[in-house]
Structure 1
Amino acid sequence: MSLEELRREAVRIHDQYDALNRYERGRVWTREEFMLGFVGDVGDLAKLVMAEEGARDVPGGRAALEHELADCLWSVLVLAHRYGVDLEEAFRRTMTELDATISARLPPDGDPS
């Protein structure tokens, strides 16, 4: 899937959650509430990474790690949508900036040793 296809699917699922929340609770999550949900997902991801590294026991194993990574990606895609961020352009720009910053700090031959 392309990033645009992922974005469309993420927004489609997000719209379903909005419909469900309107039906069950009479309201949808605000952008701030959605962000707080994402923070919780990142915390869950941290625990699963620790488990993958053998530092913690967490049920679910590799499947849970894969699920949480996908969940976090979904949240990033939805947040970008809800804030009107062109994530593809922002990613390219940020990677270009990081490349320049890192390259400027490496020795001329690129070998840090």
Structure 2
Amino acid sequence: MDLDRLKHQAIRIHGLYDELNRRERGRVWTRSEFMLGFMGDVGDLAKLVMAEEGARANPGGRAALEHELADCLWSVLILAHLHNVDLEHAFDRTMAGLDKKISARLAHEAPAT
């Protein structure tokens, strides 16, 4: 997965949404409104994951789950863009920190016998 390619694609689609919203509503979403939209997508994703596990009906099937995961990834990419976050650098730094923290805990905890 080429994060840079995905980021550019996401930004292009975000620009199209901005243009559409300007035409239809005379304004674009604020960063806060965009975050609220993302929260709605996460809620939709939660329902689809439950459906994938058999806990809910899923009339959209697997395609709906794939679509919502892609929507959520798009939102994360755009939120990073809107807040000037180098997502690749932040991800690498966060994963390195988690690796170190988890590995240290595993090294200090004796396995149960």
Q: Which band: TM-score by shorter chain?
A: over 0.9
1:33-52 CA distance string (max 9 Å, x none):
00000000000000000000
Partner of 1:26 in structure 2?
26
1:51-108 CA distance string (max 9 Å, x none):
0000111220100000000000000000000000000000000000000110011036
Structure 1 residue ranges, 4+ long, deviating more than 2 angstroms after superposition: 110-113
CA deviation after TM superposition for structure 1 residue 112, in Å: 4.8
CA RMSD in angstroms comes to 1.5
Partner of 2:42 in structure 1?
42
Identity of aligned residues (%): 73
1:17-44 CA distance string (max 9 Å, x none):
0000000000000000000000000000
Higher mean C-alpha displacement, 70-79 vs 98-107: 98-107
TM-score between both structures, scaled by the size of structure 1? 0.94
Partner of 2:91 in structure 1?
91
Partner of 1:57 in structure 2?
57
